[in-house]
Every structure is written in structure tokens, then in C-alpha cells.
Amino acid sequence: MEVIHINSSVLNISHRPDNSTVVEMTVYERCKHMPTILIWYLGLQFINTFLGIPANLTVLWLIHKNKDSSSSDIFIFQLAILDVLFCLILPLELANKLFLDTSSTWFVLRFFYGLKDSSPLFLSCICLDRYLAVVHPIFFTELNGRHHRTVLAIVVWIIILAYTAAYCVGNIPNFNKVFPAMIPAAFAFMIFCNIAILWALRQSGPGRDEMHPMKKRAFKMVLIILAIIVIHYLPPVALFPFEEYFSPDVFRCYIHFLAFGLMDFSSSIQPMLYLSKEKMPQSFNCCHSCTTHAQ
């Protein structure tokens, strides 16, 4: 019986596949017989570059300028930094996917992929902060101030950098189990927090049959956030455990790029959602008014 040896790292779902084989080929050459999802994936990366970078930089600027920022903004600020760094990946990823053999650029790509793969940790911090504010307001008030959040942000950064460093080094025993454990855990935690927030907001005040308008707006926003979390993070959670049910080509050229494409696109959607509900500083509005008046 003939034994066909398949490089297990090609189908390693713990992170982005390391496509090092005896005869090195570009990703496009491997998937040129089914390129649709790969082209779609690269299209999303283009959007991340030209939309995600300015959007995240604007978020960073707004939070820096806003003196009355919310308690979650410290985590949103860190997440925006991660997303800006990840959105810089396009030139290298294009070269890797279309022109170069994958091993020549893989070490640098691992750094960017490691940052993005661990970004749900900051999303989880945002969800936790909002969960405490809505569901446990007394305890949240006792934690008022930035000290606890700063410490938590530092701890998360240490975890992210440790994960990214280990990812760049590679060949660490059982490291491929980290991503399949981290993403479902973060996904479940974010879903729990947002559903609990929705449930708390849905409860009417004493003697009221209808939700307060402020609560109604908050309810809609949390519902949108929940939908975004599901769209971006459910595919890897739902599809990757069933890798063995797909053929190697289908998993490598379809499932892999579908799941990571949706997950990576959050680098553009998240800052746009933040900007949609934030007011521009007064100085910006004044400049805009002056321009309009001059016209």
C-alpha cells in the first residue's frame, strides 16, 4: 500500500499554515485550480489596508484627544494599535501568496499573524468592562479609575507578545493547541458577556412597559456588536474542528482563507463601528463648519 506523506503544517489549524515543502510553491500555485476564495481573501486585505489603517489611526487620535473617554477606551486603543500593525501586512502577504516561496517570508508573516490571532483577548477585555458596567454596576463603580484596566492591558500585551514570539520561533511542542483553545474560549466569553448585557438592558425599569430610549440605543449597539463578533469569529470556531471532513485542497484553499478572511476583516469593521458612534472633537467640527461656510 502506497503511503502519501502530507506536510502536517500545511493543514495546521492552530494558526496560518506554514507551507514549507520539498518543492516550494507559492500559495497561488497550490490553489490556482480553486482560486476564488484566495482572491476574495486578498481583496479583504486590500480593504484592510486602505480602510482599516486610516480608520484605526482616527480611533487612536480620537481617544488621545478625548479627555472624557469611556472606561473601555483603554482596551479599544490597544486593539486599534494591533489592527494598524496587522493592516500593514498587505505588501508582504501579496508577495508571499503570489510571487515568493512561502518559507522566505514566513518568519515576518508569523509576527503579524500572531498579533491578529491574539487580538480577541482585547475584545474580551472590552466585553468584560461593558458587562461589569451594565450587569454589576456597583462593583464596576468600585473599580472606577484606570489603574485596574492599565494593569489588565499590560498583562494582555505580555500574553500577546509571548504568543507571537513563540509563534515566530515555531517548532514548540503542543503550541498548535493554543489557537484552537484560545479562539473558542474568547468567542464563548464574548458571546456570554454580550448576551448578559442584552438581557440586562432588555429588562424594563420599575413600573415601565417600554425600554428607556437610552437603553434602547445601547441595546441596538450591543446587538450590532454581537452580530459582528459572530460573523467574524464563528467561522474558525465552527469549521476548524471539522478539518478532517474536508479534503486537503478544500481546507487549504477554501476553508482556511474563508475563516481567516472574515476574522482579519474585523480590523476594518471594528474601528468603523467605533467611529460611527463617536463625536468628532470640537476643533474638527469648527474646521468643518468654516469650510462649509466658505463654500
Q: What is the mean pLDDT of residues 53-71?
A: 88
Contacts of residue 127, Cβ cutoff 8 Å, sequence gap at least 6: 189, 190, 193, 194
For residue 46, tell me if it sits in a domain: yes
* Alpha carbon of residue 271 to chain centroid: 11
For residue 27, tell me if it sits in a domain: yes
> Whose CA is closest to 9, among 22, 152, 288?
22
CA dist 56 and 59 (Å) reads 5
For residue 58, name the pLDDT band (cuts at 50, 70, 90).
very high
Residue 122, C-alpha cell as written in the block: 482585547
Distances (CA, A) of 272 to 34, 157, 176: 32, 23, 32
Phi and psi at residue 244, in whole multiples of 5°?
-65, -15
DSSP 51: I
For residue 273, tell me if it sits in a domain: yes
Look at residue 50 and tell me whether its pLDDT is greater than 50: yes
Look at residue 24 and tell me whether its pLDDT is greater than 70: no
CA dist 12 and 8 (Å) reads 6
Q: How many domains does the chain have?
A: 1
Q: Tell me the CA end-to-end span of the chain in Å, nearest whole number.
A: 80
CATH number reported for the structural domain that contains residue 215 in this entry: 1.20.1070.10
Look at residue 144 and tell me whether its pLDDT is greater than 90: no
- Span 81-111, pLDDT tens digits: 999 999 999 998 888 888 876 566 788 888 9
Look at residue 234 and tell me whether its pLDDT is greater than 70: yes
Q: What is the DSSP string of 2-13?
A: ------GGGG-T
Distances (CA, A) of 89 to 38, 143, 162, 258, 274: 16, 37, 20, 18, 22
For residue 10, name the pLDDT band (cuts at 50, 70, 90).
very low
Q: What is the mean pLDDT of the chain?
A: 81
| 212 vs 139, residue with greater confidence | 139
Sign of CA dihedral 262, 264, 266, 271: negative
- Which of 139-143, 213-217, 256-260 shows the lowest per-residue confidence on average (mean pLDDT)? 213-217
Q: What is the mean pLDDT of residues 48-77?
A: 89
CA dist 295 and 282 (Å) reads 20
Distances (CA, A) of 180 to 59, 184, 265: 30, 7, 19
pTM of the full structure: 0.82
Residue 291, C-alpha cell as written in the block: 469650510
For residue 283, tell me if it sits in a domain: no
For residue 285, tell me if it sits in a domain: no
For residue 129, tell me if it sits in a domain: yes
- Span 166-223, pLDDT tens digits: 998 878 888 888 988 999 999 999 999 999 999 988 875 555 556 666 677 778 888 8
Contacts of residue 18, Cβ cutoff 8 Å, sequence gap at least 6: 9, 10, 12, 102, 103, 106, 170
* Alpha carbon of residue 124 to chain centroid: 11
Kindly compute the dihedral angle of the four CA atoms of residues 273, 73, 181, 134, in this order, to the nearest 10 degrees: -90
For residue 238, name the pLDDT band (cuts at 50, 70, 90).
very high
User: In this predicted structure, what is the pLDDT of residue 208?
Assistant: 53
Domain of residue 120 covers 9-277
For residue 3, tell me if it sits in a domain: no
For residue 41, tell me if it sits in a domain: yes
CA dist 66 and 232 (Å) reads 29
